[in-house]
């Protein structure tokens, strides 16, 4: 179990994480989601005792990370920045790590098979592809057979086969009763991997919810409209409080207004509609909507989806 109690981290003037509290429970994969710069890595570093919080407390399996006598057996982690000695073989890298933690060579063999690196275990890490490097990072994280596993963006840069593999691995680890926290900035990936979500933006908690709830909430919020007078209708809908994204062929994607309301506004202003369809928002769109304010604060110049009247498409 992982607990964040009012975690705050400031770097000088900059607040990376602010008053963040959540609990990650064993037995399920928990996705840690947020746009770039939201504070995911900083939070994970605090949970692992690699960064001291400015205030608040991080607790893993009942204690702070530093208080564990054999932390590698308690928490296995892969952070994004990998500092692996590139001249060494994967096997030797694992051997050094195992030796410093009193882990048997049998376990090295086990994790090599578990992550599918058997064929290249004796090759130099420097020659590894990104996917092989990720597998090695996961092997290191699992070496101590930890009850809690934390992985920072493990699917980044992986091919579809690698993504599928990680998905199955994480689910398997959770099914064994472990606590699994995995960060990502991709909602669509997390929806397939995680059962629970912790979403942050600008270092603050935005949502702590099951994937099922999140998906249900995302349903029916977007309405697709097609008309020969897209510009006119767009202005009207934006004026009525909707968020509108223009697409090709006179198609508008509208959030914040029901299809009934859109139909009524169009009729009142004599705009003929060729199509008016309530849609299930893609999870990615729902995620962007949820974190939009956080994004706007961080990148005011960025063109954002559906901010109304700015002429942007995705």
Ligand X SMILES: Nc1ncnc2c1ncn2[C@@H]1O[C@H](COP(=O)(O)OP(=O)(O)OP(=O)(O)O)[C@@H](O)[C@H]1O
- Binding-site ranges for ligand X (CB under 6 A): 11, 14, 16, 34, 36-42, 185
Nearer to ligand X, 13 or 106 (CB): 13
Under DSSP, the state recorded for 63 is: B
User: CA 9, 13, 14, 19: dihedral to nearest 10 degrees?
Assistant: 40
**Cα(104)–Cα(100) distance, rounded to whole angstroms?**
11
Question: Which of 114/206 has CB closer to ligand X?
Answer: 206
Q: Which two tokens stand for residue 230?
A: 């897209």
Q: Which is nearer to ligand X, 42 or 238 (CB)?
A: 42
Gap between the Cα atoms of 223 and 221, Å rounded: 7
Rounded-to-integer distance, Cα 141 and Cα 81, Å: 14
Which residue, chain included where needed, has tokens 């296995």? 76
For residue 37, the minimal CB distance to ligand X (Å) is: 4
Q: CB of residue 11 vs ligand X: minimum separation in angstroms? A: 3
Tokens of 51: 């960064």
Three-state SS for 145? coil
CB of 182 to ligand X, least distance (A): 13
Shorter beta-carbon distance to ligand X: residue 177 or 300: 300
Q: Nearest to residue 252, comparing CAs of 173, 216, 193, 306?
A: 306
**Residues paired with residue 14 on neighbouring β-strands, in sequence order:** 11
Q: Which is nearer to ligand X, 44 or 143 (CB)?
A: 44
Least Å distance, CB 166 to ligand X, is: 17
Q: Nearest approach, Cβ of 17 to ligand X (angstroms)?
A: 7
- What does each C-alpha distance from 58 to 19, 31, 43 come to in angstroms? 12, 18, 9
Helix (H, G, I), strand (E, B) or coil at 105: helix
CB of 58 to ligand X, least distance (A): 14
**Which residue, 12 or 270, has its beta carbon nearer to ligand X?**
12
Q: Which is nearer to ligand X, 184 or 243 (CB)?
A: 184
Residue 183 beta carbon to ligand X: minimum distance, rounded to whole angstroms: 7
């Amino acid at each position: 179990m992982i607990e964040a109690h009012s975690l705050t981290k400031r770097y000088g003037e900059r607040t990376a994480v602010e008053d963040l509290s959540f609990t990650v429970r064993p037995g399920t994969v928990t996705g840690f989601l947020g746009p770039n710069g939201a504070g995911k890595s900083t939070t994970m570093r605090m949970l692992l005792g690699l960064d001291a919080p400015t205030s608040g407390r991080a607790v893993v399996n009942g204690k702070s990370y530093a208080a564990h006598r054999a932390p590698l057996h308690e928490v296995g982690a892969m952070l994004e920045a990998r500092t692996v000695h590139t001249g060494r073989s994967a096997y030797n890298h694992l051997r050094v790590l195992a030796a410093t933690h009193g882990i048997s060579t049998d376990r090295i063999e086990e994790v090599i098979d578990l992550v599918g690196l058997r064929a290249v275990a004796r090759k130099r890490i420097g020659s590894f592809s990104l996917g092989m490097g990720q597998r090695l990072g996961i092997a290191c994280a699992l070496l101590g057979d930890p009850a809690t596993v934390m992985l920072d963006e493990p699917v980044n840069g992986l091919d579809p086969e690698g993504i599928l593999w990680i998905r199955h691995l994480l689910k398997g680890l959770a099914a064994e009763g472990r606590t699994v926290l995995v960060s990502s900035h991709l909602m669509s990936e997390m929806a397939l991997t995680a059962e629970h979500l912790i979403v942050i933006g600008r270092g603050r908690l935005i949502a702590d919810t099951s994937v099922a709830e999140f998906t249900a909430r995302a349903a029916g919020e977007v309405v697709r409209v097609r008309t020969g007078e897209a510009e006119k209708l767009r202005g009207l809908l934006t004026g009525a409080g909707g968020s509108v994204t223009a697409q090709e062929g006179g198609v508008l994607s509208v959030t914040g207004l029901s299809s009934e309301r859109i139909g009524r506004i169009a009729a009142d202003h004599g705009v003929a509609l060729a199509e008016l369809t309530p849609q299930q928002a893609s999870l990615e769109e729902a995620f962007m909507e949820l974190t939009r304010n956080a994004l706007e604060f961080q990148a005011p110049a960025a063109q954002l989806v559906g901010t109304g009247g700015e002429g942007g498409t995705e």
